[in-house]
Structure 1
Amino acid sequence: MAGNNGSNQTLIPQAREALNRFKMEAASEVGVSLKQGYNGDLTSRQAGSIGGQMVKKMIAQVENSMASGSINGMQ
Protein backbone atom coordinates (compact mmCIF):
# COMPACT_ATOMS: atom_id res chain seq x y z
CA MET A 1 0.00 0.00 0.00
CA ALA A 2 1.17 3.46 -0.82
CA GLY A 3 1.78 5.82 2.05
CA ASN A 4 0.60 9.40 2.22
CA ASN A 5 3.23 11.38 0.38
CA GLY A 6 1.42 14.71 0.53
CA SER A 7 0.12 14.54 -3.03
CA ASN A 8 -3.42 15.06 -1.76
CA GLN A 9 -2.83 18.75 -1.09
CA THR A 10 -4.75 21.53 -2.80
CA LEU A 11 -2.25 23.31 -5.03
CA ILE A 12 -4.24 26.54 -5.00
CA PRO A 13 -5.51 27.18 -1.47
CA GLN A 14 -8.28 29.49 -2.73
CA ALA A 15 -9.70 26.58 -4.73
CA ARG A 16 -10.52 24.57 -1.59
CA GLU A 17 -13.82 26.38 -0.96
CA ALA A 18 -14.86 26.09 -4.62
CA LEU A 19 -14.14 22.36 -4.52
CA ASN A 20 -16.19 21.98 -1.35
CA ARG A 21 -19.14 23.83 -2.96
CA PHE A 22 -18.78 21.63 -6.05
CA LYS A 23 -18.83 18.49 -3.87
CA MET A 24 -21.90 19.69 -1.94
CA GLU A 25 -23.70 20.48 -5.21
CA ALA A 26 -22.90 17.04 -6.64
CA ALA A 27 -24.06 15.37 -3.41
CA SER A 28 -27.33 17.26 -3.54
CA GLU A 29 -27.87 16.23 -7.17
CA VAL A 30 -27.55 12.53 -6.31
CA GLY A 31 -29.63 12.83 -3.13
CA VAL A 32 -26.87 12.37 -0.56
CA SER A 33 -26.88 14.64 2.48
CA LEU A 34 -23.41 15.93 3.38
CA LYS A 35 -22.46 17.98 6.39
CA GLN A 36 -19.50 20.31 6.77
CA GLY A 37 -16.43 18.50 8.03
CA TYR A 38 -16.19 14.76 8.58
CA ASN A 39 -18.57 12.52 6.59
CA GLY A 40 -17.17 9.11 7.51
CA ASP A 41 -20.64 7.74 8.07
CA LEU A 42 -21.33 7.65 4.31
CA THR A 43 -21.56 4.29 2.63
CA SER A 44 -19.15 3.45 -0.17
CA ARG A 45 -22.06 3.62 -2.57
CA GLN A 46 -22.97 7.16 -1.45
CA ALA A 47 -19.37 8.39 -1.62
CA GLY A 48 -18.94 6.79 -5.03
CA SER A 49 -22.09 8.38 -6.38
CA ILE A 50 -20.85 11.81 -5.29
CA GLY A 51 -17.45 11.27 -6.90
CA GLY A 52 -19.05 9.88 -10.03
CA GLN A 53 -21.34 12.88 -10.33
CA MET A 54 -18.37 15.23 -9.89
CA VAL A 55 -16.44 13.46 -12.68
CA LYS A 56 -19.51 13.45 -14.92
CA LYS A 57 -19.90 17.21 -14.48
CA MET A 58 -16.18 17.85 -15.07
CA ILE A 59 -16.22 15.82 -18.29
CA ALA A 60 -19.31 17.69 -19.51
CA GLN A 61 -17.60 21.01 -18.76
CA VAL A 62 -14.47 20.04 -20.71
CA GLU A 63 -16.57 18.75 -23.61
CA ASN A 64 -18.47 22.03 -23.73
CA SER A 65 -15.21 23.98 -23.61
CA MET A 66 -13.75 21.89 -26.40
CA ALA A 67 -16.89 22.32 -28.52
CA SER A 68 -16.67 26.08 -28.15
CA GLY A 69 -12.93 26.05 -28.87
CA SER A 70 -11.94 27.60 -25.55
CA ILE A 71 -9.34 24.94 -24.72
CA ASN A 72 -6.25 25.54 -26.85
CA GLY A 73 -4.50 22.58 -28.35
CA MET A 74 -7.11 20.00 -27.30
CA GLN A 75 -9.06 19.74 -30.53
Structure 2
Amino acid sequence: MSRSRKLVPEASQGLSKFKSEVARELGIPLSDYNGDLTSRQCGSIGGEMVKRMVEEYEGHLTTRS
Protein backbone atom coordinates (compact mmCIF):
# COMPACT_ATOMS: atom_id res chain seq x y z
CA MET A 1 0.00 0.00 0.00
CA SER A 2 1.38 3.38 -1.00
CA ARG A 3 1.80 5.83 1.84
CA SER A 4 1.80 8.78 -0.54
CA ARG A 5 -1.74 8.38 -1.80
CA LYS A 6 -3.78 11.56 -1.77
CA LEU A 7 -6.90 11.81 0.34
CA VAL A 8 -8.55 13.73 -2.49
CA PRO A 9 -7.20 12.36 -5.80
CA GLU A 10 -8.90 15.18 -7.71
CA ALA A 11 -6.57 17.65 -5.98
CA SER A 12 -3.47 16.20 -7.66
CA GLN A 13 -3.46 18.67 -10.55
CA GLY A 14 -3.98 21.65 -8.23
CA LEU A 15 -1.18 20.53 -5.91
CA SER A 16 1.16 20.09 -8.86
CA LYS A 17 0.39 23.62 -10.08
CA PHE A 18 0.85 24.98 -6.54
CA LYS A 19 4.22 23.22 -6.25
CA SER A 20 5.35 24.69 -9.56
CA GLU A 21 4.32 28.20 -8.49
CA VAL A 22 6.18 27.93 -5.19
CA ALA A 23 9.29 26.50 -6.86
CA ARG A 24 9.28 29.31 -9.42
CA GLU A 25 8.95 31.95 -6.70
CA LEU A 26 11.84 30.36 -4.79
CA GLY A 27 13.95 30.24 -7.96
CA ILE A 28 14.15 26.43 -7.96
CA PRO A 29 13.89 24.90 -11.44
CA LEU A 30 11.39 22.03 -11.70
CA SER A 31 11.17 19.74 -14.70
CA ASP A 32 9.91 16.27 -15.58
CA TYR A 33 13.04 14.88 -13.89
CA ASN A 34 13.99 16.46 -10.58
CA GLY A 35 16.63 14.00 -9.43
CA ASP A 36 19.28 16.68 -9.65
CA LEU A 37 17.62 18.84 -6.98
CA THR A 38 19.11 18.84 -3.50
CA SER A 39 17.19 17.71 -0.43
CA ARG A 40 17.37 21.29 0.78
CA GLN A 41 15.69 22.57 -2.40
CA CYS A 42 12.93 19.96 -2.21
CA GLY A 43 12.42 20.68 1.47
CA SER A 44 12.20 24.41 0.78
CA ILE A 45 9.41 23.84 -1.73
CA GLY A 46 7.46 21.50 0.55
CA GLY A 47 8.00 23.67 3.61
CA GLU A 48 6.79 26.78 1.83
CA MET A 49 3.74 24.92 0.53
CA VAL A 50 2.82 23.79 4.06
CA LYS A 51 3.42 27.28 5.45
CA ARG A 52 1.06 28.81 2.90
CA MET A 53 -1.60 26.14 3.42
CA VAL A 54 -1.51 26.69 7.19
CA GLU A 55 -1.76 30.46 6.73
CA GLU A 56 -4.74 29.99 4.40
CA TYR A 57 -6.46 27.67 6.88
CA GLU A 58 -5.81 30.02 9.80
CA GLY A 59 -7.25 32.86 7.75
CA HIS A 60 -10.46 30.88 7.30
CA LEU A 61 -10.63 30.19 11.03
CA THR A 62 -10.35 33.87 11.97
CA THR A 63 -13.04 34.92 9.47
CA ARG A 64 -15.45 32.29 10.86
CA SER A 65 -15.38 33.57 14.44
TM range (shorter): 0.7 to 0.9
Give the alignment's TM-score, normalised by structure 1: 0.76
- Report percent identity of matched pairs: 46
Computed over aligned residues only, the root mean square deviation of the Cα atoms, in angstroms, reads 1.5
Give the alignment's TM-score, normalised by structure 2: 0.85
With CA pairs under 8 Å and 6+ residues apart, which has the higher RCO, 1 or 2? Answer: 2
State the structure with more CA Rg: 1
Structure 2 unaligned blocks of 5 or more: none
Is 1:18 aligned to 2:11, yes or no?
no
Structure 1 unaligned blocks of 5 or more: 70-74
Structure 1's consecutive aligned runs of 4 or more residues displaced over 6 angstroms after TM superposition are none
Pairs aligned (count): 65
